Amino acid sequence: MTARDHHALDLRRRHPVTKLAGVTLVVVMALVVVRWWVLVLVLTAMLALAALQPRPGAVPAPVRTVAAAALPLGLLGGLLQLLVGADPGTAAQLAARLGLLTAAGVLFGLVTPAIDLMTAAAQLHLDPRIGYVLAGAVALLPRMRERARAVVDAQQARGLGLRGGPVRRWRSLVSLTGPLLLAVFVENEERAAALATRGFPGSGRFVPYRSVPFTAVDATACGLIGSALVVVVLLGVLGALG
Amino acid sequence: MSASSPENPGSVADQVLVGTGVATVVTTYLTLVLWRPGGLDALAGPAAALALVGNLTGAVLLLLGTVRRLPTSTLVLIPSAIAVNVVVGQLVAVVGLPLYLDSIGTIAVAVLGGPAAGMATGILANLVWGVTLAPVAVPFSVSAATIGALAGLAARLGAFRRIWLAPLAGLLTGAVAALVSAPVAAFVFGGVTGGGASALVAAFRALGSSLLTATTLQGLLQDPLDKAITFTVAALALSGLPARLWRRFPFARRYATLPTTDRRSRAVSPPR
């Protein structure tokens, strides 16, 4: 494999639209293809693709994250079907389907920064409100986790017990949720005022500050994925995948 | 868009989008329930594709039709509410309760912003959850939208003003959400959505139920209880908010969705 090929397979460099097209193809295959071994082959190819992705910083390698999410759910699905008397082929089909659906979603999330998704949405003239909410939620998650930890620590310092009977645990949950919601509303006030001052969402066309390039590699990939999608759907309609 | 209108009906295009979205979801549901593809064979047929595509298309149409109606104060709350959904789900694990409670943020937005805001939050929450933590959540966007819409409706009717009404509203919402989720759980995931739910589906299957019946029964056993508790926790947490915070939301102000000790300052204007 040449360095250029490797560059083409680095999914972080691909446009979000290309990646969404890929996810769509995988989802359609997972739902339309009946032969379990075909689905297992596609799942293996996805894991191989995940293995080719560079590991950003100190986080686990993408292939480990994808495998850790997809394989247990797939195996659980297959085992449960066997337990209720399904034939091994159907159980394997469901296992592979669950694995594929999960792997596609997890890999997309790992290789698509929220800011790229928001920029791509703006480039496609999607309502800026949707882009704001999607990117805002992804960006807020780590901060909210930190805040939740701080609330738990503070309440425990005041004597809140997290163990005991169901009623006590339920009370503890209310004691933790209240301060968390209060902090959200206080922050929300400031953010709403800041956005209103800037005229968000505005009535004109939203021009993103940065851009995500749609390269020739993306165009080629989208063409190939689109063609594959047509073939899979046609074969499915003709019953050739059954 | 008027930021002061509590329930901006939106443009004709928005109303068409919402109407088409609702029609798509209802048609998908009725087709799957009336057609009732048989057992595990359904996994191989078009039922899975119909359940996934029909519900996702409906969710996207509902989202596009509702998000433009929301005032900025409500819109800004949605990302935080989505993060609250995820984090409270993790707090539940810390406390050790065998529940989901993963829609408290959605319900909070619905109580303050109304059914449209709740619906949009539910859909967006599942999309964000899907691309960050659990891809399984994406096809259940319509269920989350249903929870948000019904929570908003319950708030408008006063279910969050009296604490004992909140669990009742939660029970009803949970039952409807269970019915909406069942075809997706059955035909897209074969009844396997992780955790104890999968074991319950397997138990019902072992007792001779069809796949759709098993996922429906599992949902009806778990969701009403979960939503009753979620609604109660949300009502308790929101009732502690200072009135000056929640009165900034036009819907909450107009319908006085939360309890207040100062009766004179309650909104009294009748619904249009």
- How far is it, in rounded angstroms, from Cα A105 to Cα B136? 8
B217–A contact, CB cutoff 8 A: no
Q: Look at the block and give the residue holding tokens 């799957």.
A: B32
Q: Chain A neighbours among B 14-53 (CB < 8 Å)?
A: 40, 43-44, 48-49, 52
pLDDT per residue of chain A (242 residues) written in tens, 0 to 9:
555 555 677 888 899 999 989 998 998 888 888 788 999 999 999 999 999 988 776 667 888 988 988 898 888 888 888 887 778 888 898 899 889 988 998 898 888 887 788 788 778 877 778 878 887 887 888 888 888 888 888 888 888 777 777 788 878 888 888 888 888 888 887 888 888 787 776 666 666 677 888 899 999 999 999 999 889 888 876 766 66
Chain B residues 175-194 with a CB less than 8 Å from chain A: 188-192, 194
Rounded Cα gap, residues A11 and A108, in angstroms:
9
Cβ <8 Å between A81 and B40: yes
Instruction: Write the residue in A27, A133, A186 that is nearest to B124 by C-beta.
Output: A133
Question: CB of A63 within 8 A of CB of A51?
Answer: yes
**CB burial readout A4-14, b (16+ within 10 A) else e:** eeeebeebeeb
In the three-class reduction of DSSP (H, G, I as helix; E, B as strand; rest coil), residue B251 is classed as helix
Smallest CA–CA distance from A105 into chain B, residue: B135
Pull the structure tokens for residue A180: 């968390």
Q: Which residues contact A195 (CB under 8 A, 6 or more apart)?
A: B72, B76
Rg of the Cα atoms in chain B: 19
When scoring B56, B67, B72, B231 by the number of chain A Cβ atoms within 10 A, the one with the most, hence best to mutate, is B72
**Rounded distance between C-alpha atoms, residue B181 and residue A62, angstroms:** 30
CB–CB contact A177 B237 (8 Å): yes
Would you give the DSSP letter of residue B192? -
Q: Is B248 on the interface with A (CB under 8 A)?
A: yes
Phi and psi angles of residue A163, each rounded to the nearest 5 degrees, phi first: -115, 170
CB contact under 8 A, B72 and A97: no
How far apart CA B86 and CA A141 sit, in angstroms, is: 8
Terminal alpha carbon distance of chain B: 18
B205 touches chain A (CB under 8 A): yes
Q: What is the pLDDT of residues B14-29, one digit of tens each?
A: 899 999 999 999 999 8
For residue B167, give every residue at least 6 positions away whose Cβ sits within 8 Å of its Cβ, in sequence order, or none.
B228, B229, B231, B232
pTM comes to: 0.83
DSSP letter (8 states) at residue B102: T
Contact A173 B127 (CB under 8 A): no
Dig out the tokens for B24 from the structure.
Answer: 């798509």
A137/B81 Cα distance (integer angstroms): 8
Q: Which of A25, A31, A73, A169 to mutate to test the interface with B (most CBs of B within 10 A)?
A: A31
Q: How far apart are CA A23 and CA A45, in angstroms?
A: 13
Eight-class DSSP state of B271: P
Whether the complex's predicted ipTM surpasses the cut of 0.90: no
Question: Between the CA of residue A8 and those of A3, A4, A15, B65, what are the distances in Å?
Answer: 9, 6, 11, 37
Nearest neighbour of B95 by CB, restricted to A34, A143, A173: A173
Sign of the four-CA dihedral B40, B43, B44, B50: positive
